[in-house]
Amino acid sequence: MGKLMFHGQSCVEIVAADGTRLLIDPFLTDNPQADVDRGHFHDRLDYLLLTHGHYDHVADAWPLLEETNPTLIASFEIVAYAQEVLGYDKTHPMHIGGGYEFPFGRVKLTPALHGGQVAGKGAEGYTTVPAGLLIDLDGCGIYHAGDTALITDMALLEGQVDVALLPIGDNFTMGPEDAARAVDLIKPRVVIPIHFNTWPLIEQDPESFRARVEPRAEVVVLEPGDTYEF
């Protein structure tokens, strides 16, 4: 059985049944919600996955590369920044619509509608197309939408997603109403809201979101530090 742990904003840790450890969009040090710091991952981090390059998704990614030596899975442009500026070569570049079978399972980059500037020292001029992540691991289809508006392309995910991690914060991404419409397009079994309540601009009541969605899908609200087993 695998498990998924929420660490605030859009940061999600996934541990496969065999112990393989993945981390998505690490934003810990300056995150008022975060329940852990980078030291939590120093014993083992196998793969680091990024949906896009904004600060609240990559702030701790660059130091974690040096501290834990994971394989970086991200868009071609983010990987180019890691290689050319940071000198980090343990990478796997991907792009929208492309998938790859890794030892732990399959990852596919899906469309997302958002900004693409990459944050980091020396990152001026590096931009990318934001993405979602469709991860097939231990027989479970996990969709991390990243930061995105509601897009009709989400309907193409129907039948592939067991657990959907969807932003509900509004202002910068989908709000609760559009995220509920996304559920109708994707038709997951379980929905976990992310990217909300980190700052006043994205304050939302997850219970209100639950009321919009259930019984069409089960809504699991995770506080930072909570775990969902799949």
pTM over 0.95: yes
Closest CA to 73 of 51, 54, 44, 103: 51
In terms of C-beta density within 10 A (0-12 exposed, 13-18 middle, 19 or more buried), how is residue 132 classed?
buried
20-36 tens-digit pLDDT: 999 999 999 999 999 99
- The structural domains of the chain, with segments of one domain joined by +, span 3-222
Which pLDDT belongs to residue 32?
97
State how beta strands 131-137 and 218-219 pair. Answer: unpaired
Contact 12, 166 (CB under 8 A): no
Which pLDDT belongs to residue 93?
99
Contact 149, 174 (CB under 8 A): yes
pLDDT per 10-residue tile (average), the chain, 230 residues: 98 99 99 98 99 99 99 99 99 99 99 98 97 99 99 99 99 99 99 99 98 98 98
State how beta strands 163-167 and 105-111 pair. Answer: unpaired
Tell me the fold of 3-222: Metallo-beta-lactamase; Chain A (3.60.15)
CA–CA gap between residue 126 and residue 135 (Å, rounded): 26
